[in-house]
Amino acid sequence: MNTPAVRYAAYAGLLVLGALVGTAGALVQAAWLPLGLFLALLATAALFYGGMRATGNQLGLAATGGGWLLAVIVLSLGRPEGDGLFGGGLGELVFLFGGMGAAVICATVSRLPQSTP
């Protein structure tokens, strides 16, 4: 990622990917509880860590985390008619707080030393 345009495109792609994983996780965790919840949290943690490793800095994690959090918040708001994707049960709370916890863990994990060729 040498040029700024490539970096910005990568961050935008990670933001969209975070929103997609957040949406998919919100659907899967409610449909296949408890296995769906485990899969959704595993995918979320893998996305956060992968975004950080792919970019080599914390901005990759912030981009994926921002997209994920935006999708989860928008889906939890519901519609004016009263129907929403999140019903307010225990699984939804574990998904929300577990995803935020995964982001914090990935942000604080120590990086592996760079190997020199």
- Token pair in block for residue 39: 């899969």
Average pLDDT, the chain: 86
Q: Place 69 in a pLDDT band, splitting at 50, 70 and 90.
A: very high
Provide the 10 A C-beta neighbour count for residue 14.
26
- Tell me the C-alpha distance between 39 and 55, whole Å: 24
Q: Place 64 in a pLDDT band, splitting at 50, 70 and 90.
A: very high
Question: How far, in whole angstroms, is CA 93 from its chain's centroid?
Answer: 15
From its phi and psi, is residue 52 left (phi > 0), alpha (psi between -120 and 50) or beta?
alpha
- Tell me the C-alpha distance between 37 and 65, whole Å: 18
The pLDDT of residue 93 is 87
- Backbone CA torsion sign across 43, 45, 48, 54: negative
pTM of this prediction?
0.84
